[in-house]
Amino acid sequence: MKAPCPFTGPRPYHHGDLRRALLDAATRILDRDGQGGLSLRAVAREAGVSPAAPYHHFKDKSELMLAIAEEGFGQLSDYIRRTADMTVMPMERVAAIGLAYVEFAKAHPAVYRVMYDCSRDSDAMPDKAHNAEEGAYSLLKRAMIDIGVASPDQETDLELACIAAWCAAHGLAEMVGFKQFDALKAEMGGEKAFLAGVLSHLGMFGQARSRA
């Protein structure tokens, strides 16, 4: 059963890390068909396996989605870290982080959607994404300290500022693709300029204007 596919080296079990294969299949489907095309059966089909097989690796469909979301937050963190590392000036760094956030959401809209659906419905996952030592949130927090948005002893106010930035970035990420902005984008000579313009009105991202 199921051609052994000889050139993939030794496989621990019947399939060989089906969990990994399922996650890859799922992200492939998300990027290809969008969130609407993501069904457990479709994922199993894409991975070349029976519809019930995933239940040995994920308790639920929601647990599959949660795993996808975790991977997504990991990639987002990586992308933001790379962007932040490339920008030395603190002011510009905050702006770059905001821009990177929106760019990620634009590049993988369906995955981004799953990420925030999970954040809403579950309690476990977002903590992992937000509080992780290396998470994107702590990168933002450090950058916000660097621009002096709040003195280090005003922990509460700093937290509020970071949350505000996160909310603004999230809102922009979800709305940047809306059709009614197309005219304005064209008038401004491209989405990049549009994005920078909007960010420039969002306090902490003000410096983005110079990156247009």
Contact footprint for a second copy (CB under 8 A): 116, 119-120, 123, 126-127, 130-131, 149, 156-157, 159-161, 163-172, 174-175, 177-181, 184, 187-188, 194, 197-204
- 110: partner contacted, choices a second copy, DNA, none (Cβ within 5-8 A by kind): none
Contact 104, 112 (CB under 8 A): yes
Among the listed residues 169, 170, 149, 171, the one whose alpha carbon sits nearest the alpha carbon of residue 160? 149
Residue-wise over 70-97: b if at least 16 C-beta within 10 A, else e?
bbbbbbbbebbbebbeebeebbbbbbbb
From the CB of 27, what's the least distance to DNA, in Å?
A: 15
Is residue 57 at the binding interface for DNA, with CB under 7 A as the rule? Answer: yes
CB nearer a second copy, residue 47 or residue 129: 129
Half-sphere exposure (Cβ direction) of 105: Cα atoms closer than 13 Å: 20
129 binds DNA (CB under 7 A): no
By beta-carbon proximity to a second copy, the closer residue of 86 and 175 is: 175
Asked if 7 and 21 count as a contact pair (C-beta separation under 8 A), the reply is no
List binders of DNA among 173-202 (CB under 7 A). none
Q: Is 62 one of the binding residues for DNA (CB under 7 A)?
A: yes
Q: Which of 128, 127, 146, 137 is nearest to 164 (CA)?
A: 137
- The token pair at 202 is 């969002």
Q: Which one among 42, 145, 150, 158 touches DNA, defined by CB under 7 A?
A: 42
Residue closer to DNA, measured from CB, 23 or 144: 23
- Give the one entry of DNA, a second copy, none that residue 42 binds, where binding means its C-beta sits below a cut-off of 5 to 8 angstroms depending on kind: DNA
